[in-house]
Structure 1
Amino acid sequence: MTNDTHRVINPSILYFGTPVVLLSTENEDGSCNLAPISSAWALGRHIVLGLGSDSHTAHNLARRPELVISVASPELWERVERLGPLTGASPVPKAKRAVYRYEPDKFGAAGFTPVPSDLVTPPRVGECGLQLEARVRAMNPGGDGAFFGVECEVLRVHADERVVVPGTQHIDPARWSPLIYNFRHYHGLTPELGHGFRSETAALTRPGPISADRVPSAVTPL
């Protein structure tokens, strides 16, 4: 008989290991806002984002639906964290004033490089190995108005050539992995344990993972 060691708890958050992405959106004055989030998942060619309804990013997307979803990798965690207490909203909403401060140049504040996009107005984050140009297709309210589930259609994918399996259109999971936000702590993925039966890269020969000192400081547009 199994000895059940579980107990009922009431955690304040449920970020049980989710990837970090950086969202570039256009402000009302034509400048760019950059925001980190850790509620993002893919469904085919669509990405679903979880955004607080009072966030500056949500306000931007409701009016200007273009964005770039840049997927952060583990060595970028300190730069990502620099964005945490910053907001592009001025004045800072009253509920956020105790924690957040206004910052008009979030790329500069975090040490990221804006790279022009091909199909949308907001720039890509040069340091991120995966950058997805996208357009919002639906903003679905939830949580009694506390958040939006934002459905985005991916229009173009930019990938650092060093994380693409040569001669293919596939990302090599042995050479790139996302930054994971695990109960408000940053993690990278552990070494691979195995692969799913639908993997398209498992049988391909590939070198080892890229170390932090080999990650590009900026990705050249492809």
Structure 2
Amino acid sequence: MFYEPAKGHGLPHDPSKAIVAPRPIGWISTIALNGDVNLAPYSFFNAFSTNPFLVWFSSEGEKDSASFARETGEFVVNLVGRAVVEQMNRSAVDAPRGVNEFAYAGLTPAPSRLVAPPRVAEAPAALECKVTEILRPKALDGSDAGVFVVTGEVVGVHIDDAMLTDGLFDAVKAGNVARLGYMDYSMVNETFAMRRPRWDKD
């Protein structure tokens, strides 16, 4: 089949998120200037640079995570692993502003080293970030897409030592969770390795 997104697809549900998948989950913790703490998962999330180590998450509408990050210039990305997937889902509740999702989901806020927002103590890894810019993408017709893309530089990294195997972060041990389409998720249960080929000029 072929369809144009602006004209509809004729399927029972929009397949766009199922096609662009799996997507890593940015479990974003932030704190407002007044001290309110927020924790929410974002499936529009990824890293896009190693040096500097830059990550971003995208909020459809300026939700608490984006507005708190704008206020304070900081956020933490907590990795969603096998052991915390239920709590991650619970923290996605559409709670009113000011509700602490750490408490609601039964999670432990742990102090960060270099930023104010707490991290999830139970997460297998966490990235402390400082905001570098907030982008407002446009649609093809030039109109505001209603999206807030929060970009941050990672200034500190926490790794649970139990997730290291021979000095390497073990995604299978952590059970990294990713978002698919519809109500579906996936989890890393196995990996395989391939070396990138090098062009032999000789």
Closer/same/farther in 2, CA of residues 88 and 124 from structure 1, 3 Å limit:
farther
Cα contact 1:53–1:145 (8 A) shared by 2:
no
Within-5 A mapping of 1:61-210: 61-89=69-97, 104-143=99-138, 144-166=144-166, 168=167, 170-183=168-181, 184-192=183-191, 194-197=192-195
The percent of aligned pairs where both chains have the same amino acid is 24
Gaps of 5+ in 1: 1-6, 90-102, 199-222
Residue 177 of structure 1 and its aligned partner are, at CA, apart by: 3.4
One-letter amino acid matched to 2:184:
H
Deviations 1:83-106 (A, max 9, x none): 2223352xxxxxxxxxxxxx6221
1:58 aligns with 2:66: yes
One-letter amino acid matched to 1:187:
S
Closer/same/farther in 2, CA of residues 107 and 174 from structure 1, 3 Å limit:
closer
One-letter amino acid matched to 2:93:
P
Residue 68 of structure 1 and its aligned partner are, at CA, apart by: 0.8
Instruction: Supply the distance in 1 between the matched residues of 2:108 and 2:22 (Cα, whole angstroms).
Output: 27
TM-score w.r.t. structure 1 length?
0.72
Cα contact 1:107–1:113 (8 A) shared by 2:
yes
TM-score w.r.t. structure 2 length?
0.79
Moved more, 39-48 or 140-149: 140-149
One-letter amino acid matched to 2:91:
L
Aligned pairs, number: 176
